[in-house]
Structure 1
Amino acid sequence: MFNYIDRTIISILQVPIKRDLALSDAQLGALTGLSFAIVYSTLCLPVARWADRGNRTRIVAGSLALWSAMTALTGFAGGFMTLVMLRIGVAVGEAGSVPSTHSIIADLYPARERATVLALWGLSLPAGMAYGYLFAGQLERMIGWRGTFLVIGLAGIALAPLVLWTMREPLRGRFDAPAQHAAEGADLKAALRHLWQLKAFRYLVLAGTCHAYAVYATMNWNAPFYGRVHGMALTDVSIYLALLNGFGSAIGMYLGGRLSDRAGRHDNGGRLRVVAWALLAMVPFALAQYLVASPTLSIVFGAFASILMMFYFGPIVAVPQLLVPPGMRALTSAVVIITFNLLGLGLGPVCTGLLSDLLATRLDVATDSIRYALCSATLLSVAGGVLFLVAARHLSGSGAPEEVSAATPCPVPR
């Protein structure tokens, strides 16, 4: 949850940061997306390989302490480059958290339950976003954006020892047959080659990356959108976005994981078809959210878009875990995360910011430039939905997860 709080607060605090440090939309996009994504993606693979062989709970606790310290120091930033360096520090810390956690969860629950469980764990994302929006909006009013970073960073540092003392390392591969451990000793190049040969995995990652572009673009620019286009105060925006991205995303995550597990009982491809249709249904709601004139209607449409947008979260993590042995699970999650971050988080916010700047200067639509830039980002989810359908076709016929016993390795799709 603190992982997503620390990612969210810089988005809600863009308005005062831009005002105090005189930043452009392109700089804000690079700050909230590209600078973070490049370093996060660079470190994710080696840290994940470490997690596949080392103590995962210690990696999570150490990561939390590091990124929280960088968040606290952000309150002392004096300019754009200092902010970039500190966001890089946050990325260094967060690179060790999610892949290790995915691997731990896979050793706590059998395959037939993982999409649901990962969706429940994924509720930390909307919870973190909701708290981030609420706390950042209210704290900024009381102690400014610098004090907000300091307070939230120190809270994360205080949590790190608790994580270290209370989390226990589970037995690796406890739900998997001995045959599935065969690839654990493979080197990084061989492991990546194994992943590339799985067509279902390739299309799944490409589909998720297209959708992630839209997700990260909207998450980073929704706050400025409601402030500029609809003239909402920052405190009001923080409350509305906490509801949209908190409750709305939470509902979508749970439903996506639950329906994915149910659809995969007789055909694994059903796990991804649920996601595909949700994304294709989401796009009209998202376009309406940004194009309607009424702020009330915009928030209503945004609620439906937030629910459908997050259907992908549980399945995009759980399905790859079905395809690989226990000793490759953190690495597999890292590959998914890297592509999401480089092409989704890395390009989504910054390209949306660049397009907004371009529309404002070339077409003289300064107020509405962010509106049209967000609409363009949303359309990438159409491509994501189509590619999820292709991935589902390659995943079909691999057998139902609940039919796989502890003595039989999970079937690998073609």
Structure 2
Amino acid sequence: MSEDLQRRYTLLLLFLVSMFNYVDRTIISILQVPIKRDLGLSDAQLGALTGLSFAIVYSTLSLPVAYWADRSNRVRIIAASLALWSVMTALTGLAAGFAALVLLRIGVAVGEAGSVPSTHSIVADLYAPARRATVLALWGLSLPAGMAFGYVVAGQLEAAVGWRATFAIVGIAGVALAPLVFLSMREPVRGRFDPPAQQVPPAHGMAEVVRHLWGLRTFRYIILAGACQAYAQYSVMNWNAPFYGRVHGMPLAQISLYLALLNGLCSAVGMYAGGRLSDHMGQRDPGGRLRVVAVALIAMTPFALAQYLTSSAALSLAFGAVASTLMMFYFGPIVAVPQLLVPSSMRAFTSAVVILTFNLLGLGLGPFVTGLLSDLLATRYGMQTESIRYAICSATLFSLVAGGLFWRAASHLQRETPRARPHPTVTIAQEMS
């Protein structure tokens, strides 16, 4: 197999692994309705189940696994992670109550913690920096593809065989993919596209890497911006199905098709457009990579508010299509830009730090706090079915904050890239000597 073909094949496998990652996350969201009905859960419990319990373990465990991935075989880590989280997904169908569901979601989180940082590191060794945001956006299409597939499959399977069998079927499919990844994906050469100054062996520990990352203003603003946007994004994605069911009275099968379009097709367009525009603008001005994201998120917020405040289901979906497109502009740049700031020996760990803040503050708190607010509005203020409408609106306002933070990060990017300053590993070595 030629080098170019092997590179494309590796990217395809990474895409499929990530797609299963998001399928497994999505089905718990779309199946909230029957799970709540059968197990008698509250909105706060559902928020903790779909967000907080998963995010705490996933985010914190990703740091040591990523540190390991920077020093060992990334392909084996990805294959093992896929097998573990798929088994946990299959077993979710056996859960008899909230506690069992939480434990199994923690098991899924343990597995998924090893996949994304290792993938980001591999992609950085497959493609040159000038194309990296675009390629990562292409790989990131696994998110809308996985969500669309998850919504459609979960909605149809639940109607046919119930939510328990749905978890089992999806989990078994993921287990079947793991041996193919292990046997046929090759480990790329680390740092092959790095400038000579970056091609040095890692001689620093985890604490030194963390200290160095925190010293980069660009990185600090990026992770704070990503956390705010993740808060809005995961709140919307986790609560869209209950919103359209309660407020607009749509049946689950219909909701799953509409959300497949919003979170699948529209998000895919936004994700790819954001990556391409980021790379294009970055050729003229490095800060343009992030200003594209800032403008998109600020422009998105009014459409998102209109989506949840209008009384028309058709208008809500139309506004939602625009909001879903703009919401995902940040995906490629938030992965690609931190990779530009560090050498290959830090890349998996750098991605893990982004994931830590992104998921712990975004995925962990977003759905949970939104569910708590919905319960509060329903019980204390008697809003009942309307409570979820205003709870989600409050979450979308975090996109405005994210846009401002991305704009601030852009102002520091040019002088903090390796070409404009001493190499970070040299700086750390000097600090250690």
Structural mapping, 1:7-406, within 5 Å: 7-182=25-200, 184-397=202-415
Provide the C-alpha distance between the structure 1 equivalents of 2:292 and 2:172, rounded to a whole number of angstroms: 40
Q: Aligned equivalents of 2:257 and 2:188: distance in 1?
A: 38
Q: Which amino acid aligns with 2:240?
A: N
Change (3 A) 1:345 1:96: same
Residues 277 and 292 in structure 2, CA contact (< 8 A), matched pair in contact too: yes
SS at match of 2:284: coil
Deviation at 1:396, TM superposition (A): 3.4
Deviations along 1:369-393, whole A, 9 cap, x unmatched? 0000000000001000001110001
Classify the secondary structure of the residue corresponding to 2:223.
Answer: helix
How much does 1:178 deviate?
A: 3.5
CA deviation after TM superposition for structure 1 residue 183, in Å: 6.9
Aligned to 2:430: none
Q: More helix by proportion, 1 or 2?
A: 2
Provide the TM-score with structure 1 as the length reference: 0.96
What residue in structure 1 maps to residue 9 of structure 2?
none
8 Å Cα contact 1:195-1:201 kept in structure 2: yes
Q: Is the 1:267–1:397 contact (alpha carbons within 8 Å) kept by the matching residues of 2?
A: no
Give the secondary structure class of the aligned counterpart of 2:144: helix
What is the CA distance between 1:35 and its match in structure 2? 0.2
Deviates more, 1:361-370 or 1:180-189: 180-189
Distance 1:32 1:231, change over 3 A: same
Q: Residue 222 of structure 2 aligns to a residue in which SS?
A: helix
- Which letter does structure 2 place at the counterpart of 1:197? G
Alpha-carbon separation, structure 2, partners of 1:4 and 1:265: 32
In the alignment, the residues of structure 2 paired with residue 85 and residue 11 of structure 1 have an alpha-carbon distance, to the nearest angstrom, of 17
Distance 1:305 1:410, change over 3 A: farther
Residue matched to 2:3: none
Q: Which amino acid aligns with 2:160?
A: M
Q: Which amino acid aligns with 2:153?
A: F
- The alpha-carbon deviation at position 166 of structure 1 amounts to 1.7
Shift of 1:163: 1.1
Residues of 2 paired with 1:198 and 1:398: CA distance?
7
RMSD: 1.5
> Is the partner of 2:191 in helix, strand or coil?
coil
1:4 aligns with 2:43: no
Q: Deviations over 1:55-81 (max 9, x none)?
A: 001100100000000000000000000
Structure 2 distance, partners of 1:328, 1:68, is: 28
Amino acid at match of 1:195: L
Count of aligned pairs between the two proteins: 406
Identity %: 72
Distance in 1, matches of 2:223 and 2:199, equals: 23
Cα deviation 1:34-68 (Å, max 9, x = unaligned): 00011111210000011101100110010000000
> Could you tell me whether the CA contact under 8 Å between 2:216 and 2:416 is conserved in 1?
no
- The separation in 2 between residues aligned to 1:353 and 1:181, in whole angstroms, is 47
Tell me, yes or no, if the aligned pair for 2:198 and 2:425 is still in contact at 8 Å.
no
Answer with 350-359 or 390-399: which moved more: 390-399
Unaligned runs of 5+ in 2: 1-18, 427-433
Task: Calculate the TM-score normalised by the size of structure 2.
Answer: 0.92
Q: For 2:129 and 2:324, how far apart are their aligned partners in 1?
A: 27
Q: Output the CA distance in 2 between the equivalents of 1:178 and 1:51.
A: 22
SS of 1:53's equivalent in the other structure is: coil
CA distance in 2, matches of 1:411, 1:84: 40
Do 2:245 and 2:252's aligned partners in 1 also have CA atoms closer than 8 Å? yes
Corresponding residue SS for 2:385: coil
Distance in 2, Cα, partners of 1:152 & 1:229:
29
CA shift, 1:182, in A, is: 4.0
Amino acid at match of 2:79: A
